[in-house]
Amino acid sequence: MPDVQALVNDFVIKLKKRKIEGSLATAKHTAELLRSVISQQRIPYTNQAAALIDAVKAVGEQLIAANPVELAVGNIVRRVLHIIREEDLSLTTASIAGLNLAAVSDDEDDNEKDDRPVLSAAAVAAAARSTLRPPSLQTLLEDVPNQASVHQTSSSGGDSEGKSKSADKSSRSRKLKHDVIEAVNELIQDIATCHEQIAEQAVEHIHQNEVILTLGSSRTVLEFLCAAKEKKRSFRVFVAEGAPRYQGHLLAKELVTRGLQTTLITDSAVFAMISRVNMVIVGAHAVMANGGVIAPVGLNMLALAAKRHAVPFVVLAGSHKLCPLYPHNPEVLLNELRSPSELLDIGEFSDCMDFGTNTGSPLLHVVNPTFDYVPPALVSLFITDTGGHNSSYMYRLISDYYSADDLVIKRRLSTGS
């Protein structure tokens, strides 16, 4: 079995060097790595969930620091933490329910079996508390039944009971890891199939003879448009080229290959063409808790044009792109600058970028941001793998995927005596 730390270090290097392209691939790799961490993590008899949470947070901190702009990494780390908490709560609830059921059964059989000790309410409460936190001395004392009311048959009975409790704890720890890994497998499957789940809804939103406008390149948008084409919907697509990387050229070529009528336009022509458009459909880098969208540069201009001409602005995003943070949170890095060579030939403009002015800085500065921020007021509809949602509902949808305790990924500091 590969060493987990080696896998973590390898993934951190890939994140730092931007070797993994796209939020979906990043999210899938992150979930698979965390599954390996959980699988190989040794957990104690008590506080099993806390041990798993600390292990995931330790790895999550490294991954997030390696590429803070790729919010999908933090999203998946928080999703896995939420899964651990939910599975632990489920096991705890089942344990308490079984204990209460046993207590009721003992009460019913009390008349027939007087020699069987009946669990008191204090014992039930103590057992419930012991499943939620490490056992304290008081809890241990409360768990000990009154010696005067218990008929001990032999000294071996206490030994077998102790062995049974130890076996139960070991079984519970294995059950917790198994359930968490199964849930993470489901998460990985959801990430892998999110394009298909979103594309299934295309026929509900794209109608006959409509004109759709998009910008840049997005696999989610590509699959969405092609799914509508497969349902015999006839429509035309305008693709803004998405300068300076011109990803729109790739999307236009792929659409034509799949048989869609496509028109390629410059980004500056968006306002001139928007009056002919019935709907704007775009992808997203991340969707924030307030319904705002972090998207490829140029989309804010497109959203403003759509708002001005009352054209619906639809954002497609898988659930792995839903971020529980707000744009103003200090943990959120909204943008990064790409190389100036994408905008101009450095050799041709080298004389404008030298330091010969004696001011300590060049005369020409080149700014090449990667992302735009689109406020929620400009978004008409979000389409995720769970359906269509208004921007004002996104905070509720996002809250179903995350725990409030995990918004800031930071390990607990061990306190010394």
**Which residues are CB-contacts of 63 (< 8 A; sequence separation ≥ 6)?**
8, 11, 12, 15, 30, 33, 73, 77
Cα–Cα distance for residue pair 398/318, rounded to 1 Å: 12
Q: Does domain 194-401 have CATH number 3.40.50.10470?
A: yes
Query: Lowest-pLDDT range, 40-49, 91-100, 178-187, 268-277?
Result: 91-100
Helices 156-192, 48-66: inter-axial angle, 10-degree rounding = 30
Whether residue 356 is predicted with pLDDT greater than 70 in this model: the reply is: no
Stronger pLDDT, 376 or 145, i.e. the higher one: 376
Which residue(s) pair with 214 in the sheet? 239
Mean pLDDT of 31-59: 93
Identify whether the C-beta of residue 374 lies closer than 8 Å to the C-beta of residue 382.
no
Segments making up each domain of the chain, as ranges: 194-401
Give 191-202 pLDDT, tens digit per residue.
999 999 999 999
Q: Which residues of 371-385 are buried (b: 16+ CB within 10 A; e: fewer)?
A: bbebbbebbbbbbbb
Percent pLDDT > 90 in the chain is 66
| Cis-peptide into 44, omega within 30 deg | no
Query: Lowest-pLDDT range, 19-23, 45-49, 245-249, 266-270?
Result: 45-49
**Which residues are CB-contacts of 354 (< 8 A; sequence separation ≥ 6)?**
362
Whether residue 353 is predicted with pLDDT greater than 70 in this model: the reply is: no
User: Any idea which residue has 């707000």 for tokens?
Assistant: 326
Helices 71-108, 121-132: inter-axial angle, 10-degree rounding = 160
Query: Lowest-pLDDT range, 144-148, 162-166, 268-272?
Result: 144-148
Average model confidence (pLDDT) for the chain?
85
**Which residues are CB-contacts of 107 (< 8 A; sequence separation ≥ 6)?**
118
Cα–Cα distance for residue pair 211/96, rounded to 1 Å: 58
- Kindly report the pTM of this predicted structure: 0.82
Query: Lowest-pLDDT range, 87-91, 125-129, 167-171, 342-346?
Result: 125-129
Whether residue 128 is predicted with pLDDT greater than 90 in this model: the reply is: no
